[in-house]
Structure 1
């Protein structure tokens, strides 16, 4: 259950709950949970609320809704066909409000997570259901998930921000989380993740959102991750001075360990990272990620594993020695902001010029001239920088080399293999 000494904010707003948690120094843990059946979704939220952790709930939407095929989502829901999430737009508002009744409240807010580059109808539906928090962004919910033109996503997210901002007239403070720190899940060096998250946060603020969170996904090196989250906080303090913001860490978003012990140790390490760096919230993954959609019980186990690890970890106030991550991120942000006063237009121009360029991303609006490698020390480093305006990196960029399919597979499985091997060496494979 939520910590007994955590202040109980009025109104049930995600924003108020997170501000109270941040003041108390409590790490909030959150699942990526979504089920098509309203009864099962309600049971999942109740189990999340009842976990031995300070939690917020999640409605993760299905893939049909993500791409705007609401008719297909409605047919699947009506016919009892399986979906990989909750079809918010395609169900009656009364169904969702009944699902949330007695669950969502002042001590247990719920956030909608979806993955759509064109989120207008999703935002309308979550507001109609009485919710006030979601996540995404014009870049981070566009480039990884399809071929929607970046300019169209920017316009759609501009309108979505303004719609959310209108909630303040009702007394609510809407909250929007950037997914920018999770681009492609892995193999994206930290400086670009930081820059994208900060730029999306600034985009939200420019279009009326005053409560934001900035994301960072756990990568391949604990030391590099710690440096990166400190850098993200420093840039947020500089570029969002009149905004309520917090940092949310994601447990590793790439190929996950197959052993339960390895998977849960990876989640525990993500919790330790969050606490050491002063992040306020953690998105967990479960021991079932490598095989299937996790059960409610597996989500609760992950939440409680993370909370237990967090409780045994102390915050480190001093950042680790710099290796240039913050300097690179600052160079990227400043270069983009110099392209146009409207941050949405600046983002479109930055991708057109290759100032922002996500490694291994196949979206038509991504230049595709950058590459990364995992160094001998396990750190993510640039091997090819394309047109990125990185300034003077602390260390020379590695000489570009031809990436083979086996080399890419090895890099993609780097974290999985490390944690599974560690679990096996300790005899903890289940």
Structure 2
């Protein structure tokens, strides 16, 4: 039986995946079957509801008992028996399913997915703590150490548990790519040191196509260097910030994400739909987006390297951040906590109490994300920050809407389309 990581890594074309979760087992099964049957190479998604993400299982139980629709599948509340029946005849070697959640304390979710016969999920001690909770980072690290051990023991012959870092998507937008790359690498190293042998590294599409390609290639180079003997692949997320409101803008952004994945050799893509700016998409809209992405992928060719990815600024900055954290000791969980305490890792515009908040970014004259302040991050030998470019409140709002505005107005050139 093929596991999630092997399926994705050996697929003959880009694997496309929706963001999908329904509270009803009947609707969830229908969504998974439609994803499986889409005219594309797909894997399924079981997105967990908000109550379960924060550990409020009593509220999830009340909602299920009262027939209230939730914004995802209450995996812990439904239990392994219901989930196994929902997956029967749908999930399998030719159609693996991943659980996506958003919890800084995922132990109950890991136990429930393993009990239901699933082996793939995502998250991380930093990426599922800083953006989504006020929980202390040290506690999230302990939770994720335990979660890794639980997941690592959930495998069986021929099936390796798989864990994807959400580190490439910190705050969704306005985070210069080098920090996203570094966090994704560090979380995957954390997973491996806590027992996992199959991981995926993520990168969320940002605002500049050339910079994004540089970032994904840097991510792959660092993975080759730092994850020897590990089964790994790269997953690109379609833009996670303010989404275009027009159908044409949304389609253009999705096509850019597909081209980014194919040109850089990424193996998997999280797809969005034209409805993202307005509401939760229907199953039919998700299928249409999957099939459209599949067509775009088949018409796109990998882009030959113009230079060694190790010569890029994204690679140099990410490598410096990773090496600084690794120098803090063998216990990578403790090193991550210490790195944030010192401000060596510092996410722009993140308000979590354990984030120093001394860094900032802006959109430079080339249309790329750049640092206006690096705080205490060990990048002074690589970066010349521009404090004068620091965003005002109105400038921050404009930057947050930059992609939406430009694509809705059709101002981004579709180079190489």
Q: Give the TM interval when normalised to the shorter protein.
A: over 0.9
Give 2:408's aligned residue.
Answer: 420
Q: CA deviation at 1:167?
A: 2.5
Cα separation, 1, equivalents of 2:245 and 2:17: 21
TM-score by length of 1: 0.93
Give 1:27's aligned residue.
Answer: 14
Cα separation, 2, equivalents of 1:204 and 1:425: 39
TM-score by length of 2: 0.96
Cα separation, 1, equivalents of 2:180 and 2:6: 26
Which runs of structure 2 are paired with 1:69-84 in the superposition (5 Å)?
69-84=56-71
Aligned partner (choices 115, 121, 126) of residue 139 of structure 1: 126
Q: CA deviation at 1:171?
A: 4.4
Give 2:139's aligned residue.
Answer: 152
What SS does the corresponding residue of 2:371 show, helix, strand or coil? strand
Give 1:254's aligned residue.
Answer: 241
Aligned partner (choices 250, 255, 271) of residue 268 of structure 1: 255
Cα separation, 2, equivalents of 1:148 and 1:377: 37
Aligned partner (choices 165, 172, 175) of residue 185 of structure 1: 172
Q: CA deviation at 1:82?
A: 2.2
What SS does the corresponding residue of 1:346 show, helix, strand or coil? helix
Confirm whether residue 405 of structure 1 aligns to residue 393 of structure 2. Answer: yes
Task: Answer whether contact 2:250 2:274 (CA < 8 A) is retained.
Answer: yes
Q: CA deviation at 1:281?
A: 0.1
CA RMSD of aligned residues (A): 1.7
What SS does the corresponding residue of 2:27 show, helix, strand or coil? helix
Q: CA deviation at 1:242?
A: 1.6
Give 1:90's aligned residue.
Answer: 77
What SS does the corresponding residue of 2:239 show, helix, strand or coil? coil
Confirm whether residue 196 of structure 1 aligns to residue 201 of structure 2. Answer: no
Cα separation, 1, equivalents of 2:33 and 2:322: 41
Give 1:46's aligned residue.
Answer: 33
Q: CA deviation at 1:172?
A: 2.1
Q: How many residues align?
A: 412
Confirm whether residue 350 of structure 1 aligns to residue 336 of structure 2. Answer: no
Q: CA deviation at 1:169?
A: 4.9
What SS does the corresponding residue of 2:211 show, helix, strand or coil? helix
Give 2:367's aligned residue.
Answer: 378
What SS does the corresponding residue of 1:282 show, helix, strand or coil? strand
Task: Answer whether contact 1:214 1:245 (CA < 8 A) is retained.
Answer: yes
Cα separation, 1, equivalents of 2:388 and 2:355: 19
Task: Answer whether contact 1:176 1:213 (CA < 8 A) is retained.
Answer: yes
Cα separation, 1, equivalents of 2:39 and 2:270: 16
Q: Which moved more, 1:373-382 or 1:201-210?
A: 373-382
Task: Answer whether contact 1:268 1:309 (CA < 8 A) is retained.
Answer: yes
What SS does the corresponding residue of 1:91 show, helix, strand or coil? helix
Which runs of structure 2 are paired with 1:328-347 in the superposition (5 Å)?
328-347=317-336
Specify every segment of 5 or more residues in structure 1 that has no aligned partner in the other structure, as ranges. 1-10
Distance 1:399 1:76, change over 3 A: same
Cα separation, 1, equivalents of 2:339 and 2:394: 32
